[in-house]
Structure 1
Amino acid sequence: MRLAFMGTPEFSVPVLAELVAAGHDVAAVYTRPPQPCGRGQKRRPSPVEEFARGLGIEVRTPKSLKSTEEHQAFLALDLDVAIVVAYGLILPQAILDAPTHGCLNLHASLLPRWRGAAPIQRAIMAGDQTTGVQVMQMEAGLDTGPVLLSETVLIGAEDTAGTLYNKLAAVAAQLGPRALAALARGALGAVSQAEDGVTYAEKISSQEARIDWQRSAKEVDQHIRGLAPFPGAWFEVDGARVKVLLSGLTDGAGTPGDVLDSGDVVTVACGDGAVALKTLQKSGKRAQTAEEFLRGFNLEKGARLS
C-alpha cells in the first residue's frame, strides 16, 4: 500500500521499519520538528526523522497540520492509508479524510482505558496487570475511534515504563504490517469502544513525579516504576533532589519518609509498609546502584526524605 507514516519517538521506529520491510510504499514520513536537547540546547531531529532519512524517505516536520497548504500537500500524496504511532500533533478532519482508508493509529493501551498522552506510565502507576497495543481507526475525538486489531501484554511486577515501552514497541512493530495485510484483504473488522471504563492518560508533570511517602508501599513502588527512566520519580533530602529509577517492595514499617536501612538498598517507610530503593540518581549525575550512591551521599538510617 501507499502510505504516510506519522510518528516521533523511538517507540515509533520499529513500526516504520517493519512497514518498509513488508514492502509498503512509504510516500512520506511526518514527525515533530527537531527539539532542543542537552546542555547546549542544540536542536536534534526525532528518532523517526533520523531513521527515515537514513532510508532516503521524504521527511516533513510541520509545526501544525491546520493550514490549507498542509492539507493540500498531504492530499497530493495520493495515499491508501496513513499510519500514526505517537506522532504528537492533532490531525484535523481534512487530514483524517485524505487517505482512501483514512488514518490508523497504533495506541499503547487497551482502549477505552488510558486514552491520551502517557498510557504506558499511567498503566503501571495505576497498578494495572495488563495493557496492550491496539490499531484504531482515527476520528476527531481523542482516541475514540473503533478498534480494528488488538494484542494484550502482561505487566510484570518488576516492569518499569522503560521495560514495558520496549515490550509494547515490539508488539506494535508486528501489529502494523498485520493490520495493513488484513486491510488489503478486506478483513479488518471494526469494533466500537465501550462507553464504560474510559480513563485519560494525562501528561506527567514534574510536581506529580514527586514521591509521596504517605501513600502505601505498593502505590509508591508503582509510582517509581511507572516513571522510570523518564521523567523519574524524585524526593528531596538536605536540599538535594534525587531520582529513584528502580524499586521494590520490602519488609519494614515506620514514619513515612524515614530511612529504615541503608546498605545494598535504601529502605524507606511508607504509609503502609516499606520500599527498597535500588537505583538512584542525584541531579546532574549518572544513575547508580544504592550501594554506589551511598558512597558519595550521606543517607543514614533515621534520615527523613521529604
Structure 2
Amino acid sequence: MRLAFMGTPEFAVPSLAELIASGHEIVAVYSQPPRPKGRGQKLTPSPVQAFAEAMGLPVFTPESMKAEEAIATFQSLDLDAACVVAYGQILKPAVLDAPRLGCFNLHGSLLPRWRGAAPIQRAIMAGDAQTGVQIMRMSEGLDEGAILLSEVLPIRPDDTAASLSERMATIGATLWTRALAAIERGGVTETEQVGEPTYAKKITPAEARINWARPAAEIDAHIRGLAPFPGAWFEGPDGTRIKALMSAMGPAGPEAPGTVLDDDLLIGCGDGGAVRLLRVQREGKAAQAPDEFLRGYALPLGTVLDPAGAGRT
C-alpha cells in the first residue's frame, strides 16, 4: 500500500520500522518540527524524524496540519492510507478524508477509557490492572473512532510509564500488518466504542507533586505513572526539589504522613502505609539509588516532609 506515516516520539518508531519491514511504500513521514533541547537549546529532530531520515524517507514537519499549504501537500500524495502514532497534531476532515481508505491511529489504551494525550501515564496513576493498544479509524472527535484491532496488556506492579510504553510500542507495531491487510481486502470489522469515556489530560507540573497525605498505593502509582517524565516530585526540608523516579510499596508506617521511617527512603503515607523510594534525583543531579542519594543529602529518620505539597509548583 501507498502510505504516509505520522508520528513524533520514540513510542512511534517501532510502528514505522514495522511498516517499512512489511514492504509498504512509505511515501511521506510527518513529524512535529525540531524543538530546542538540552543546555544549548539546539534544534533537535524528533525520534521519528531522525529514524525516517536515517532510512532515507522524505520527512515533512509542518508547524500546523491545519495550514492550507500543508493540507494541499498531503492531498497531493495520492495515498491509500495514513498510519498515525502519537503525532501530536489535530487532523482536519480535509486530511482525514484524503487517503483512499482513510487515516488510522494506534492508541495506547482500551478505548473509550483514557482518550487524549497521556493514556499510558493515566492508566498507571489510576491503578488500572490492565490497558492495551488499539488501531482505530480516525474521526473528527478526540479518539472517538471505531476500533479495528486490540491487544490487552496487564499493568505490572513494577511498571513505570517508560516500561509500559516500551511494551505497548512493540506490541502495537505488530498490529499494523494485520490491520492494513484486512483494510486493503475490505475484510476488517470496525467496532464502535462502547461505555463511558474517560480522558487522559496532559500532566501539569503542579499535579506531579507528591501529596504524602494520600494512600500509599495511590502515591506508588503516581510515582511510577510519571516516571521518567515529567517525574513525580517532593521538596526536601531545605526546599530542594527531589524527583521520585521509582518506588515500591513498603511496610506499614504509623507515623504522620511524609515521615521518613528508616535510613533507606521509606516514607509514611496518609493511610498508615508507606512507600519506599528506589530511584531519586535532586535538582541538577543524576538519578541515584537511595544509598548514593543519602550520602549527599540528609533525610534523617523522623524527618517530616511537607505532607500536602503546599509549597511551590
2:259 equivalent in structure 1 = 258
SS in 2 for 1:257: coil
Deviations 1:26-75 (A, max 9, x none): 01000000011111111100000000001111000001011222221111
1:67 counterpart residue number? 67
* SS of alignment partner, residue 62 of structure 2: coil
Matching of residues 197-208 of structure 1 within 5 Å: 197-208=196-207
Q: Quick one: distance in 1 between partners of 2:68 and 2:286? A: 46
Match of 2:165, SS state, is helix
The alpha carbon displacement at 1:173 in A equals: 1.1
Give every structure 1 segment of 4 or more consecutive aligned residues whose post-TM-superposition deviation is greater than 6 Å.
none
1:168 is the counterpart of 2:165: no
CA separation in 1, counterparts of 2:104 and 2:144? 12
1:128 Cα deviation from its structure 2 partner:
0.3
Distance 1:163 1:7 in 2: 20
For 1:284 and 1:177, the matched residues in 2 are separated by: 44
Instruction: Measure, in 1, the Cα distance between the counterparts of 2:239 and 2:143.
Output: 41
Once residues 67 and 219 of structure 2 are traced to their aligned partners in structure 1, the CA distance between those partners, rounded to angstroms, is 45
State the TM-score, normalizing by the size of structure 2: 0.96
Which consecutive unaligned segments of at least 5 residues does structure 2 have?
307-313
Deviations along 1:140-194, whole A, 9 cap, x unmatched? 0000000011110010011110110111011111011221122122221100001
Aligned counterpart, 1:109: 109
Are 1:142 and 2:148 matched, yes or no? no
Task: Kindly provide the amino acid, as one letter, of the partner of residue 31 in structure 1.
Answer: S
Once residues 206 and 187 of structure 1 are traced to their aligned partners in structure 2, the CA distance between those partners, rounded to angstroms, is: 45
Distance 2:156 2:254 in 1: 25
Deviations 1:172-228 (A, max 9, x none): 11011221122122221100001x231000010111000000100000000000001
Partner amino acid, structure 2, of 1:216: P
Letter in 2 for 1:6: M
Pairwise mapping of residues 108-127 of structure 1 onto structure 2 (< 5 A)?
108-127=108-127
- The residue number in structure 2 matching 1:156 is 156
Q: CA deviation at 1:305?
A: 1.6
Aligned-partner Cα distance in 1 for 2:143–2:32: 19
Task: Tell me how far apart the structure 2 counterparts of residues 13 and 160 of structure 1 sit (CA, whole Å).
Answer: 19
More displaced, 82-91 or 245-254? 245-254
Cα distance, 1:253 vs structure 2: 2.1
Total equivalences in the alignment: 303
Specify the code of the residue in structure 2 equivalent to 1:7: G
Moved more, 137-146 or 296-305: 296-305
Query: Corresponding residue for 1:269?
Result: 268
- What amino acid sits opposite 2:219 in the alignment? V
Secondary structure of 1:288's match? coil
What's 1:44 paired with? 44
Counterpart CA distance in 1 for 2:305 and 2:177 is 48
Q: 1:160 is aligned with what amino acid?
A: T
Find the residue that maps to 2:174 and give its secondary structure.
Answer: helix
The letter for the 2-side match of 1:257 is G
SS at match of 2:188: coil
Return the letter of the residue paired with 1:64: S
SS in 1 for 2:99: coil
Percent of aligned pairs sharing the same letter: 58
1:215 and 1:188 mapped to 2: Cα distance?
45
Match of 1:249 in 2: 249
CA separation in 1, counterparts of 2:247 and 2:67? 47
Larger mean Cα displacement after TM superposition, 61-70 or 111-120:
61-70
Q: Following the alignment from structure 1 to structure 2, what is the Cα–Cα distance between the partners of residues 63 and 118?
A: 21
Within 5 Å, which residues of 2 pair with 1:1-306? 1-194=1-194, 196-237=195-236, 238-251=238-251, 252-262=253-263, 265-272=264-271, 273-306=273-306
- SS of match in other structure, 1:261: coil
Residue 261 of structure 2: SS of its match in structure 1? strand
CA–CA distance in structure 1, aligned partners of residues 29 and 38 of structure 2: 25
Q: Taking structure 1 as the reference length, what is the TM-score of the superposition?
A: 0.98
Q: Which amino acid aligns with 1:32?
A: Q
Give the whole-Å Cα distance in 2 for the aligned partners of 1:229 and 1:58: 31
Which letter maps to 1:54?
A: A
User: SS at 1:260's partner residue?
Assistant: coil
